[in-house]
Amino acid sequence: MASTYPILPEKLLLISLKMYFTPDRTLTYLRELLNPSNDIVHPANRDKLLLALIPDFLTIWPCAQILKEYESNLTTGSPQSTSTPPFLLGAQDCFWEPQGAYTGEVSPASIRALGCTIVELGHAERRSIFNESDDQTARKAAATCAQHMVPLVCIGEVTSPGPIASQAVGQAVTECAVLVQAVLAAIPDDAPVIFAYEPVWAIGQPKPAGVDHVAAVVQGIRAVIGVRSGAVRVLYGGSAGPGLWGVGGLGRAVDGMFAHEIGGVREVVREVEETLVVA
Ligand SMILES: O=C(CO)COP(=O)(O)O
């Protein structure tokens, strides 16, 4: 049977709004991202680079409506040959069952029905504040794939790097491998999956992790993932922003990263576009 999973582009830029914004501000932010005069989203590049917004649960539905309108204006203006959407929508978590007596939880089936294709799982904040375990994250990843969405699994070492770089890399890969293996064992081999490498010590800091550290850890993570039939993307998150991607930066090591404010997102899009190989 043909796979009905979403097709992942070469590069992905993700914007998680965590719990930062009011609903109004989230919708204004999305409109700004999509506004052609802000020159951020380039639908013609969609097979190579996609942006995804990951708002809170309450604003998924109105965001989906805005995206629907944006997309319909695009297709009436100039027909696209591709079925890839020009912009993706994600959720920040989901429950591991699709339905039932689970007060306060959010069903992956509902998330899918509202138009999301990505579900972020196992974020460091969920692990540290809500004690979310590897096993729970893996079950959520399986539930996400069962709804034909893509799990965006956050991995990253808690231990900040010591003075010996190679030891720091080995420690980080060992810490990340536990969740990588748990998730890969839980999801079908042909399901696409995204791993967001987010060293816990680099989240919400003035500076991101060093490029050499990230590149070496991501290489180790890719080795742990090994060969599978489903697509895999490994992204970076943790105080990421403009200036991190281009020459000598993360573009050589990862398949995308997180970004934040409108101006910063525009700059990061430019940096990634400059490194795309145009067909
Ligand atoms: O947690 C992150 C993405 O999931 C990154 O957050 P910061 O960019 O604030 O470090």
Instruction: Please identify, by atom number, the ligand 1 atom nearest to the C-alpha of residue 123.
Output: 4
The pocket around ligand 1, CB under 6 angstroms, is made up of 16, 123, 198, 203-204, 237-240, 258
Query: In sequence order, which ranges of 78-227 are alpha helices (DSSP H)?
Result: 108-113, 124-130, 134-146, 165-186, 211-225
- Print pLDDT tens along the chain (279 aa): 456 899 999 999 999 999 999 999 999 999 999 999 999 999 999 999 999 999 999 999 999 999 999 999 987 655 554 578 999 999 999 999 999 999 999 999 999 999 999 999 999 999 999 999 999 999 999 999 999 999 999 999 998 999 999 999 999 999 999 999 999 999 999 999 999 999 999 999 999 999 999 999 999 999 999 999 999 999 999 999 999 999 899 999 999 999 888 888 999 999 999 998 755
Of 147, 178, 173, 149, residue with least CA distance to 161: 173
Q: The complex's ipTM?
A: 0.97
Indicate which residue of 157, 198, 213, 271 is catalytic. Answer: 198
Active site residue 123: yes
Mutation to probe ligand 1, out of 54, 203, 239 (largest number of atoms < 8 A from CB): 203
pLDDT of residue 77: 54
User: Which residue is closest in CA terms to ligand 1's atom 5?
Assistant: 238
Structure tokens of 104?
A: 């306060």
219 CA to centre of own chain: 18
Of 245, 248, 195, 240, residue with least CA distance to 222: 195
* Ligand 1 centre distance from Cα of residue 59 (Å): 19
Active site residue 198: yes
pLDDT of residue 82: 58
d(CA 92, CA 273): 26
